[in-house]
Amino acid sequence: MARFLLVVPPLTGHILPLVAVSAELSARGHDVAWAGNSSYLASVLPPDATVFAVDDEFPGEPLSSRLERWRGLRAATAFRFFWEDFLVPLAQSMVRGVRAAADEFAPDVMLVDQQALAGAIVARERNLPWATSASTTAELTGQYETMPKLTEWADERMADLQAEFGLTPPVDLRFSPELILCYSTEGLLRPPNPLGAHIAMVGPAFGGRGPGPEFDFSWFDPARKHLLISLGTVNRDSGDRFFAVAMEALGTLVDEVQAVVVAPPAGLNPPPNVLVAERVPQLDLLPHLDAVVCHAGHNTTCEALAHRLPLVVAPIRDDQPAVASQVTECGAGIRVKFGRVSAAELRDAIVAVLTDPSYRTAAAAIAEEFEAAGGAPAAADRLEKLT
């Protein structure tokens, strides 16, 4: 049996796929431990998980205010901020804790989220096999090839970071040359070029999570369609306008639709067919739904498609436009403009995905691909080959 150390950033969406992979590895008799922010891990891991807390705060501005500033940025400005004020400082602050975890746990393999660069640094320092957990697919499709100067600038930041820790020659710390686990399929990703053999398209990885918040499923009226509206854990605080537009749109569908909206309730005026909650057990909700409205975050998008649910996607930034394009190109949803969509436009998009069977048919085709890809067991199969 082998020992796997999972290294993650303080971003819940990046942790969730690895929870299922961790559970599968443990079920096979392997020893699994986590290195990351203990608060974020505690919110999703089962209570018996082995956690090495890597809680060193960023130097200077705390994480919460950095993310608040990042929400207001777009395009190249957001890209530069994310690297300069998040990824690189996060790596610098995490290296000491990840080193300590690796020394104490003595892993055979490190499984590193693509935005937890410290894990890749420590794996290189210790000459350990390491795999990447690619929590989004956008960068595998050449998302930034149209911005070569930004790509060159990011490569320079990575080279400087590795030089700081005496690592040469520099490599792309986001992607292991040995194994990249990608939680999607080629049918959804539609890569412009063939993927390397080290890229494992395993589909979404579900399961293994701790208990979620309670939800009163009796609220659902079986005579109406059911909808989830979510902007994810990072973006929802910047969604005031979008949520207000959604309330107006849903208010015209009182007799046809019930919606669960994941949002801070303050300032919202929901119509009677809308339930607003700060947290929901999303995986438990999905089997009860007919469609999902979201920001095209990779986890929520793939979870919806895995449950054969069509989508209305309103991408905000980063990888979300690329994921939204994947949804529309495969025919499983409709894209709207996050900052400009009107209540009438959003209403029409919701009605379309609920009533036009072609969207559900396309979602079901992707779901079948996901099932064939294997999920967490397929990921575990590939990881075992690194030991």
What is the topology classification, in CATH, of domain 3-178? Answer: Rossmann fold (3.40.50)
- Work out the average pLDDT over 374-387: 97
Provide the 8-state DSSP code for 84: I
Mean pLDDT, the chain, integer = 92
Is it the case that residue 211 has pLDDT exceeding 70?
yes
**pLDDT band at 145; cut points 50, 70, 90:** low
- Checking if the pLDDT of 334 tops 80, the result is yes
- Taking residues 294-304, report their average pLDDT: 95
> Does the pLDDT of residue 67 top 80, yes or no?
no
Closest alpha carbon to 366 in 200, 186, 193, 136 = 186
> For a pLDDT cut of 90, what percent of the chain falls above it?
75
pLDDT of 159 = 96
What's residue 120's pLDDT? Answer: 98
When pLDDT is averaged across residues 133-155 and rounded to a whole number, the result is: 78
Mean pLDDT within 174-196 = 91
* Rounded CA separation 118/108 (Å): 17
**Bigger pLDDT: 375 or 57?**
375
pLDDT at 71 over 80: no
pLDDT of residue 79: 83
Q: Which of 16, 114, 97 is nearest to 56 (CA)?
A: 97
Please list, residue by residue across 130-147, b when 16 or more beta carbons sit within 10 angstroms of its beta carbon and e when fewer do.
bbbbbbbbbbbbebbeee
For residues 370 and 364, the answer to whether their CB atoms sit within 8 Å is no
d(CA 92, CA 95): 6
Query: What residue ranges in the chain does DSSP mark as E strands?
Result: 3-7, 31-36, 51-53, 109-113, 130-134, 180-182, 199-201, 225-230, 257-262, 274-277, 291-294, 311-313, 333-335
> Is domain 217-371 annotated with CATH 3.90.1640.30?
no
pLDDT at 273 over 60: yes
235 pLDDT band (50/70/90 cuts)?
A: low
CB 18 within 8 A of CB 35: no
Predicted confidence at residue 236, as pLDDT, reads 57
Distance CA 75, CA 240 (A): 20
Matching residue, tokens 């009796």: 218
Q: How many helices (H) and strands (E) does the chain have?
A: 16, 13
Judged by DSSP in three states, 44 sits in coil
Whether the pLDDT of residue 144 is over 80: the answer is no
3-state secondary structure of 340: coil
Mean pLDDT of 254-264: 96
Is 282 in contact with 306 (CB distance < 8 Å)? no
Structure tokens at 67: 């993310």
What pLDDT, in 10s, does the model give residues 344-378?
999 999 999 999 999 999 999 999 999 999 999 99
Domains 3-178 and 217-371 share a fold: yes
Peptide bond into 169 cis (omega under 30): yes
For the chain, the domains span 3-178, 217-371
pLDDT band of residue 265 (cuts 50, 70, 90) is confident
Lowest-pLDDT range, 8-22, 114-128, 225-239, 300-314? 225-239
Average of pLDDT values for 298-305? 95
What is the per-residue pLDDT for 364?
Answer: 98
